[in-house]
Amino acid sequence: MQVLVTGSSGLIGSEAVVFFDRLGFEVVGVDNNMRADFFGPKGDTTWNRQRLESTCRWYTHREMDIRDREAVKSLFQGVGSRKFDLVIHAAAQPSHDLAAKRPFDDFDVNAVGTLNMLEACRQFAPDAVFCHMSTNKVYGDGPNHLKLREEATRWEYDDPAYAHGIPETFSIDRCLHSLFGASKVAGDVLAQEYGKYFGLKTGIFRGGCLTGPQHSGVELHGFLNYLVMVALREGPYTVYGYKGKQVRDQIHSHDVINLFWQFAQNPKPGEVYNLGGGKENAASLMECVELIHRITKTRPKITYSEQARIGDHICYYSDLRKIRSHFPEWRLTRSLEQIIEEIARAARDHGRV
């Protein structure tokens, strides 16, 4: 099997490279380290690319920009007599705040880049399975308008209909998204159409908080990884709005890729899945700070801003029942505590703090 991974030096992409390399598959990774351009030196993923090149036997790196339509086309045409069997599309501009400052870059990467990938796949690898990494931000601030209750350390849904979290049937329309959310909606719907209209084997995965030790977390993106790193340095951290009680569901990158592999073996064209840590791995920012302190004996120096980020969720966790019904062998393998322990251990072992 030949696998193509975009964003191969990022969190999800690099996890995919390792996962499929260990299965003995040929893996081609595409990444031009645009994260360093977006977020500066702290977002640089060169270290991760070098790690993959030195440890993954079947891996080939390609420096390429997915916005370059001809380059994408040439990539799909240039794999010799074989075609890609599986495409993991994880390349993205991932920040709300940066999208507002660089709207053309945001849309060209998230929407146009996705279209380039889908069309090249349709033309040159029509039998491939295409896993598109979308985001829960396609729901905009819609979840904020649900009935919520304030508890001592978190916000929580106060409507029995959402006892398991946000389902895939939740509307993505008529709400505030941020420009990032809008560009991701465009890519999400395009991937659905290439499945439903053209029959391409697309799966759309709306990620919650994706995390793990390979994340180059920064303030604008990579919440849990960045929070752990700041806590280990006991550095400054600003909480934006909602009293620090905003809730996120954390999922380890390995569990994301394992679902992609389950989907690849039983694809359902154009299907949408909410993919996060679910209720069991959901915690508020305040709760995460205390959990990190319990595990590492360190904590960040917190300052508070009343101004919440535009389009930010007050409470969000994924309803995982659809995934579990379609792929009963899939499960979460890391608890929130285990994820934090792994991030902290890797940071200390590799001198990143």
Token pair 């351009």 in the structure block, residue:
37
Distance (Å, whole) CA 275 – CA 319: 8
Mean predicted confidence (pLDDT) in 236-245 = 96
Mean predicted confidence (pLDDT) in 196-212 = 97
Are 118 and 202 spatial neighbours (Cβ–Cβ below 8 Å)?
Answer: yes
* Burial classification of residue 195, based on how many CB atoms lie within 10 Å of its CB (0-12 exposed, 13-18 middle, 19 or more buried): buried
Mean predicted confidence (pLDDT) in 122-137 = 97
The total domain count for the chain is 1
What pLDDT is attached to residue 349?
Answer: 84
pTM of the model: 0.96
Instruction: Give the pLDDT band of residue 80 (cuts 50, 70, 90).
Output: low
Residue numbers of the domain that contains 341: 2-349
Instruction: Give the pLDDT band of residue 232 (cuts 50, 70, 90).
Output: very high
The 10 Å Cβ neighbour count of residue 274 is 29
Give me the CATH number covering residue 18.
Answer: 3.40.50.720
Whether residue 163 is predicted with pLDDT greater than 70 in this model: the reply is yes
Residues whose CB is less than 8 angstroms from the CB of residue 340 and which lie 6 or more positions away in sequence, other chains included: 224, 228, 288, 291, 292, 295, 296
